[in-house]
Amino acid sequence: MSILDKAGRYELREELGRGAMGVVYRAHDPVIGRDVAVKTMHLSEAGTGMSREELVSRFQTEARAAGLLTHPNIVVVFDAGEEEGIFYITMELVEGRSLQTMLDGRQVFSLPRVMRLMEQVCSALDFAHQRNVVHRDIKPANLMLTSDDTVKITDFGTAKILQIGTAQTSHVMGTPSYMSPEQVKGKPVDGRSDVFSLGVILYELMTGEKPFPGQNITTVIYKIINEDPIPPRSLDSTIHPGLSAVITRALAKEPSARYQTCQELLDALKHYHDATSADTTARMPYGKVANGQGTRVAHQPVRPSSPAPSAPVIAPEPMSPFLAMPDERQPPKRSSRIILTVILLAVIGYASYRVWPPLVDIWQRMHEPTQTAEPPVNAPPAIPAANLPAPETKSDDAVRPAEPEQKPAPLAAEENAAPTPTATPTPAPTSDPIASGKPPEAVPVSTAVGVPAPPRKPAAPFATPAAISLKSTLGSQLAGISLASKVKLRVTGNTLTLSGKLSSQEHTKILALLHDVPGGVRIIDDIGFADEAR
């Protein structure tokens, strides 16, 4: 087998990549004196119903259509030709790495970076769709990233060119994991097929997983046609519910249910905070799956698009403005289980509400120190009759010595007993309270009937050690990014609630801190969003 070293006037120097659609080489243009990328393809007129001249003409037409796309995020097509049965397209040589290479390296993409990449790709695809050019093979391998994160889309028109040169005109060309349902079925496609492929890429960037995984092509194609993908928020609970809803709509099976243009998808991404209600967004518990429960997403009005003239337009079916997202369609059995679960949780919660306070009260009473009860203020103490002094017969000016305090004697015989020689009375500094007519002073007693118990201290709110530890760690991290004054942390039981007013960028920083949460701890995101300049 001879090694290919030339395509037309271009000198092939090294192989850059190889795939099902052809081989890409780094080549040199001796006329201009520059390096270019040359993609070679083997096309055959056998079984296509076209002569070789017609096949070459169709090839040149599609290459010319791709060459007319002049956009900062689209690789420029310089030339196209055929020599000795080998068709080739000469393109701009992009120094960088493909998005597929980065995903294979398990590189993590932050939300702001994903938004910047999607803005460039949506802008380029919308530009091409307005000129009736559909890519048909949007995938990470065809998205090149330069050193400054500029996106360059390659292989415009290649999928259609290869479809022209296959033995069966209905043969499906493209990468299965990123193909739309209508493309898998061999139906005519328009720009909404690229919207679906872009939704697959967005899903993979946000979750690190493909929406339609499978061990073989047959399994992947079956899932694309028949199964709805798992909502992104089910795989990563830090993804905003609105963003999850936008991605889910981009992956709708029917083209009429998707975003009708890439610009419409981009607008939804920029305003994903408004895709769900504020109450659902702020109070979605961490680690729980929304899965359509209690969340209804209103679709944006469908804008008409300008489809390619070569592809027949499928009339969109009437849609309700409050049509539920695909992940909201639950079977009746699952709805019944949900209702039973809610009822069971309500019973458990009510029982806890009734039983918990008495248990706390008993525990506090067991651990509280015994306190001496005091009689009410300004109330005279109860003095036994046996302790009252006997009436005096002396004159008023005689000073009666105060008798020592004695315990009440229970027997009458003891009242008449003579005082012992050791009991020596001491003079009282004040006059006899009974003789003077003044009420006796309050005497503290050890016990008193009817005296109210001292007030109990309120029980401290229950908090698990894991939640307290998470609050301390998160508080330190917020202080490190200067957000401690804007975010209030509150622990109740095993739940940590975040509240405050932040911008979307600040909210993203906080979400990045919540990847490692101890087991058994819930997080309630009660953050409000401050107004930002769009």
Active site residues: 137
DSSP states of 391-414 as a string? Answer: PP-S-TTSPPPBPPP-PPPSSHHH
- Cα–Cα distance measured from residue 419 to residue 406, given in angstroms and rounded to the nearest whole number: 11
Give the chain's count of helices (H) and strands (E): 16, 12
Indicate the pairing of strand 86-91 with strand 143-145. unpaired
Our CA angle for 77, 81, 82, nearest 5°, is 145
Is the separation of the CB atoms in 75 and 92 below 8 Å? Answer: yes
> Closest by alpha carbon to 526, among 475, 487, 492, 468?
487
Measured from the Cβ of residue 451, the count of other Cβ atoms closer than 10 Å reads 13
Angle CA(447)–CA(453)–CA(455) in degrees, nearest 5? Answer: 145
> Residue 27: which of 15, 19, 45 has the closest Cα?
15
- Residue 452 CB: number of other CB atoms within 10 A? 7
Least Cα distance to 245 among 287, 205, 277, 198 occurs for 277
Which 3 state secondary structure label does DSSP give 15?
Answer: strand
Cα-flanking dihedrals φ and ψ of residue 386, to 5°? Answer: -70, -20
What's CA 181's distance to the chain center, in Å? 28
Name all contacts of 124-128 with Cβ < 8 Å and 24+ positions apart: 124/71, 124/72, 124/73, 124/74, 124/151, 124/153, 125/153, 125/191, 125/194, 125/198, 125/262, 126/191, 126/261, 126/262, 126/263, 126/266, 127/69, 127/71, 127/74, 128/69, 128/71, 128/74, 128/156
Run of H or E residues at 151: strand 151-153
